[in-house]
Structure 1
Amino acid sequence: MWYGAFLMVIFIVELGAGVSIFAYREKLQEGFDKGLNQSLNNYDSHSDKSTDFDLMQSTVSTDFDLVQSTVSTDFDLVQSTV
């Protein structure tokens, strides 16, 4: 009885999280893009941030072997705004 109720609560929470993420997907994408662009713009000006960004980039590229969701020209756009 308690186990079933617990599973139902977990299911409802997961469903709510999924609906929220779906509803705010554009704002989440915009926020992620804005944060990434800010970190790229500050890449050379702050040595601590450059070190952290290098670590993140090397970890993602070697550990996860992810497929790029954007093209390399995105970095050209950031470079042209600096």
Structure 2
Amino acid sequence: MLEEEIRILHVSKDNSPEALMHEGIILYKSLLEQCSSDEEKIAPLNNEERLAFVEMNCRTFAAYRQLQELFNEMQKKIASKRAILNRNND
């Protein structure tokens, strides 16, 4: 799993997590795109600022943690949206 590979690189003090972080950023942006429409944007609070931080600091452990939290928050927002849609369909 990408998350685990990046974590291992940071824990081992390897200086090469950048390529995997870029892969994670691409995945995250794809998720944002797929979960948003013209009428509604689904994104975590301060998403743009936090994503910019991750992109500018992708070699740091702090950026890895921030990206991890962005994914976690998106997962919660998606689950919430699904629950609302299921409630409306019942």
* Same structural fold, with TM-score higher than 0.5 when normalized by the shorter chain: no
By relative contact order (CA 8 Å, sep 6+), the higher-ranking structure is 2
Query: Between Structure 1 and Structure 2, which shows a larger proportion of helix residues?
Result: 1
TM-score tier by shorter-chain length is 0.3 to 0.5
Max Rg structure: 1
TM-score by length of 2: 0.31
* Length-normalised TM-score, structure 1: 0.33
